[in-house]
Amino acid sequence: MVTAALIALAAVAVVMGITVVVSRRIGRVAVVDVAWGLMFVAVALAVAVWSTDWHSWLLAGLVTVWGGRLAWHIFKRSRGHGEDPRYAALLGDGGFSLAVRKVFLVQAFAALVISLPLVVAGAYDVRWTWLVVLGAIVWLVGLVFESVGDAQLAAYKALPKETKPPVMDRGLWRYTRHPNYFGDACVWWGIWLAGALATGWLPGLLTVVAPIAMTYFLAFATGARLLERTMMQRPGYPEYAARTSMFVPLPPRGEQVEPPRGE
């Protein structure tokens, strides 16, 4: 267990160290968003190489699909743009040293905590294979929500300005204001089920902080809640927020359902 934890620490340190150098060179803190998914890919692959167990290699495959897709999507979306408004608001005029303390180190520590199910999977044998299957299903639901939500938003942004609605409220975005963040959370609840809980109750309980932390970051810290501060200033968004769940998909509030017509 200690060896697997040290391997995870080294993988996170390498990816975040490279990210700090790149960020300093290009002058954008937001590059850390590309590195976020890659940290987990590095941890999953490193632990799998060390353990050589089918369980860790399965998780490495799931994490690589998720993290690789996420990193590529964020890279394409942010290429050619300036600093992300979320980080600009968070850092103010604090400079790069503040970014290291409040962004890079915080996200590196968060990645280590969230990677705990991968560490446990590398150190212990599977006890309940059915939980591995269940976790993979939850992971798949999350990946669909995230990838479909991102694709729907990209299609909305590509619409001509004169025909584009003021707010994206179609598809998955009709039921949640952040289907991509919700999908991310599901992915890591799935990884926890398949990676940690599948090895036993005690490892599962000791590492449940991992999906809880991921959900907290996505919903209340650097994800949805922080983005909402900017989005609430856009025309039509407060009305959209009033009728649409922020995170968990729910039917829109205030909609009238027509009763079935009689013969």
pLDDT, residue 263, reads 41
Cα-only R_g, the chain: 20
pLDDT, residue 161, reads 83
For residue 249, being part of any structural domain is answered with no
For residue 11, being part of any structural domain is answered with yes
Rounded to the nearest 10 degrees, what angle do helices 116-123 and 54-78 cross at? 160
> What is the SS3 string spanning 101-158?
HHHHHHHHHHHHHHCHHHHHHHHCCCCCHHHHHHHHHHHHHHHHHHHHHHHHHHHHHC
For residue 178, being part of any structural domain is answered with yes
pLDDT, residue 135, reads 97
Q: What is the extent of the structural domain holding 113? A: 2-243
For residue 141, being part of any structural domain is answered with yes
pLDDT, residue 76, reads 85
For residue 261, being part of any structural domain is answered with no
Closest CA to 179 of 210, 216, 154, 142: 142
pLDDT tens-digit map of 182-218 = 999 999 999 999 999 999 999 999 999 999 999 998 8
For residue 255, being part of any structural domain is answered with no
pLDDT, residue 92, reads 62
For residue 263, being part of any structural domain is answered with no
Cβ neighbourhood burial of 135 (10 Å; 0-12, 13-18, 19+): buried
pLDDT, residue 258, reads 46
Closest CA to 188 of 242, 135, 255: 135
Number of domains in the chain: 1
pLDDT tens digit at each of 263 positions of the chain: 789 899 999 999 999 999 888 888 877 777 888 899 999 999 999 999 999 899 999 999 999 999 999 999 888 877 766 666 667 666 666 667 777 777 788 889 999 999 999 999 998 999 999 999 999 999 999 999 999 999 999 899 888 888 888 888 899 999 999 999 999 999 999 999 999 999 999 999 999 999 999 999 888 877 777 778 778 888 888 888 899 998 899 999 876 544 445 44
Question: Is 42 in contact with 14 (CB distance < 8 Å)?
Answer: yes
Torsions phi, psi of 243, nearest 5? -105, -5
For residue 24, being part of any structural domain is answered with yes
Q: Give the whole-angstrom CA distance, residue 169 versus residue 240.
A: 7
